[in-house]
Amino acid sequence: MTGGEAGRVVVFAPSPVLTVAIEDRGGQPDVHVHAGGQGVWQARMVQALGVPVILCAALGGETGRVLRHLVADEGIDVVHVDGAFSNGAYVHDRRSGERVTIAEGPGDVLPRHTMDELYGLTVTEALNAAVAILSGPVSAEVPDQVYERLAADLSGNGSLVVADLSGTRLAAALAGGLAVLKVSHEELGLDGTDVPALAREMARLRQAGAGTVIVSRAELPALLLTPEGLSEVRMPRMAVADPRGAGDSMTAGIAAGLARGLAVPEAVRVGAAAGALNVTRRGLGTGDPGAIAKLTTRVVLHALDATPVPEPAQVTTPEELAANLTPQGTDDGAGR
């Protein structure tokens, strides 16, 4: 697999959100303000792994102005579009040990000209990078066609496109063509323990446009399907502090590995280690690079005999493919 400039990842994150979390600290409220959303969490993990990353996002209104500074303060380069809209925000109270939603603002729908400008900025940045990650919107509606066009334009010009999407957006991105697709068994509407059924669906996703398919299965080992066959991604179990964001950290780790020039199996090992370590922390998309590197050596790709036999190639429209996927309201990366 080849890409653009080595060691650089671009993340398409159309609608980051402002997050406020209230923790307990010695019986007193401890308030934390961060940038959030699937694309932000992915960019944060890529940056934590020492790989330069650029976040392409729409940032508008008061929430957008705060988000721009928060992301930049983390050392993540931001290329953004401003306009007459506002990003979403939420307030969570976690003092009880559980997440209790106090307030949540959905954010505004992105105007068409804003979406067009963000598309152009993303293409410009991604064509000069090794890897592009397509993440889903948290609040703003983004037309499915944007994902198909991005996947097609970037893949067609030599970029490695990694997607972590669901529903009709996933179907559209597949129609455009992907180097790597990461998805969970819940998003496929399948039992995580039914390996033969998952293997058949993974083969169908490869036929639909993904070069490599990774299916996460919650606490079970992820499955990896490449042209060489089906493997189980095995690694040590970790005590879970917060399962949210594990899938996004896995996607980010894979992208970071590919940007470093690693082959897909090695990049998947990095992603598995990043996802596993993230569940031991309460910060989404966070992790110590040294710990991830050590944990990577413990990840084993175990070949399975249940390698699917692809069915005869057939033309499948994005609408037909989406009909077989579990609908998802937003791609927030939680708990995948």
Report which residue type is found at 255. Answer: A
Supply the pLDDT for residue 137.
Answer: 85
Q: Say whether 191 sits in a helix, a strand or coil.
A: coil
**pTM of this structure:** 0.86
In a domain, 319, yes or no: no
Segment 240-244 mean pLDDT: 52
Q: Which two tokens stand for residue 44?
A: 């944060």
pLDDT digits (tens, 9 = 90+) for 200-227: 999 999 999 999 999 999 889 999 999 9
Q: Which residues of 26-55 are buried (b: 16+ CB within 10 A; e: fewer)?
A: eeeeeeeebbbbbbbbbbbbbbbbebbbbb
From residue 105, how far is each of 17, 108, 182 by CA, in Å?
A: 9, 9, 28
Question: Per-residue pLDDT for 311 more than 80?
Answer: no
DSSP characters for 131-167? Answer: EEEEE--SSS---HHHHHHHHHHHHHTT-EEEEE--H
In a domain, 323, yes or no: no
In a domain, 164, yes or no: yes
pLDDT digits (tens, 9 = 90+) for 28-37: 999 999 999 9
- Phi, psi (5° rounding) for residue 280? -85, -5
Question: Per-residue pLDDT for 2 more than 70?
Answer: no
Would you mind telling me the total number of residues written for the chain in this entry? 336
For the chain, what is the mean pLDDT?
Answer: 86
Please give the radius of gyration of the chain, using alpha carbons only, rounded to the nearest integer. Answer: 19
In a domain, 329, yes or no: no
Supply the pLDDT for residue 244.
Answer: 60
The CATH number of residue 258's host domain is 3.40.1190.20
In a domain, 30, yes or no: yes
Residue keyed to tokens 């931001």: 78
> 141 lies in which domain range?
9-306
DSSP code of residue 74: T
132 half-sphere exposure, CB direction, 13 A CA radius = 32
In a domain, 274, yes or no: yes
Binning the chain into helix, strand and coil, the percentages to the nearest 5 are 35, 25, 40
Q: Are residues 87 and 55 in contact, defined by beta-carbon separation less than 8 angstroms? A: no
Task: Count structural domains, the chain.
Answer: 1
CA dist., res. 112 & res. 83, Å (int)? 11
In a domain, 311, yes or no: no
Rounded to 5°, the CA angle 93-242-285 comes to: 100
Q: Which two tokens stand for residue 295?
A: 């944990």
Angle, helices 167-176 vs 195-208, to 10°: value is 50
In a domain, 315, yes or no: no
